[in-house]
Structure 1
Amino acid sequence: MTSPDAVIAAFRTEHDILAEVVSSFGEDDPARPSGAARWDVSEVLSHLGSGAEITQATVRAALDGTPIPGRDVLETVWDKWNAMTRRQRVDGFLRANRTLIALYASPAVHTRESLRIDMGFLPEPVDLATAVRMRLSELALHSWDVRVAFDEHAALTPSATRQLLHGAPDLIGWIGKSEPLDGRHNVIHVTTSGPATVFALRLQSRISVDFDVADTPDGTLTLPAESWLRLVAGRLAPRHTPSGITTTGAADIDLLRRVFPGY
């Protein structure tokens, strides 16, 4: 089991990086188009801020032994954030995420290790490290959505990449779409750098990854780990694809973009 402290530290680092960008915004910056196709920068921050507020309630419910917030609570939070001005969303995100970081770190060490959190959509409660990692995934990807509005060569941060690469829970089967495969079944040998890993991507009716690497795969894909994470999150469009990514055989990058359309 991963220590929750390591994931919380990565979450704090990710927040600090985005907060530095956000705190320097000029008047028009929150209105810029973001890396999320249908949102401007302020709407991305609204999504992160409302998510942080809802997560606070979920964690407090686990600490207090009370039910998690219901749909009515969620809709009230979303309505509040949707009604904010762009500037209010920026400031609100900073406050809500700082409060969430403090809450993650607040329980005693033995409580952080034993705490189980009902996320509301998973089959069973998860440990704190897994819950924070799921929030880190949201923060890291949407931080990229914000930062890429100002730097087209933006990448996921190393600290987040280390925590998210092969981190639980494995949602590839939910993220990946098999329809673009037209019934084909292929095993792709994936090699990443920063950090270095080797694993198998199985393109079949249910997309999956594992470490049972075939001696003779149908194709190979070599790329930075952060680019792999952006690929499966639908954030590796051609203009945001770094040089040096190599493919062979059945590992067609355009096909993989369709298999992983984003969320």
Structure 2
Amino acid sequence: MYLYLILNIASFIVPFIYSFEKKMRFIKWWKSVFLSIVIVGVFFIIWDIIFTKQGVWGFNPRYHLGISIFGLPFEEVLFFICVPYASIFMHYAFLYFFPTIKLSNQKTKAIIFLLISISIFALIFAWPKKYTSVNFILFLVLLIYSLLFKNRILNQFFITFLLILIPFFIVNGILTGSFIEHEVVWYNNNENLGIRVFTIPIEDIVYAFNMLYSSLILIEFFKIKFISKRQIILK
């Protein structure tokens, strides 16, 4: 049963098709999007390989093809392309259709400081649980980065992330055992807080935020870089 592959393809195919929609033309940013996804994906895949070897999590062979890449199922590697692309498309689609809906700088800062406080508490409480610790350290770094460099992505991403969580709960819920007999991905609860949203470890929400926000930072960087390069060429 190739459930993991089916979930990857199902997550990716509709957003990819709509990327060619004539008005939004999301596909015009394909270089920035895919380059960013790959860069972030490499980091998360290395993290994935290490944690898989350490038994922090693992994969049920019942639900994948049996093809391994550095100890990871092929579908797990594919996940870091398909799911981020679909999620990032949702973010930019929202920005295209609702460009004025955003949080004020004051509200965004307040949320950031609240999340920083929660992260510090989680690290103190859970240390040295590997999944919780690494996840929240990266979360802290990204939040502090947004403050230091006055990054404005979070003004809208805090909103769009809530929308992204809807398909996230469906896909990740299935992966972690919702609606099926056995989970596709299992977690060692000794390495996390043991708190689940349905069948999903609470850390997975932070994990998704880290992956997507990192990608968005790079996308915006590369968009500016490629536009500047194009302008130089035209001159």
TM-score (norm 1): 0.31
Q: Which has the higher contact order (CA 8 A, sep 6+)?
A: 2
More strand by share: 1
Q: Who wins on radius of gyration, i.e. which is larger?
A: 1
**Higher helix proportion:** 2
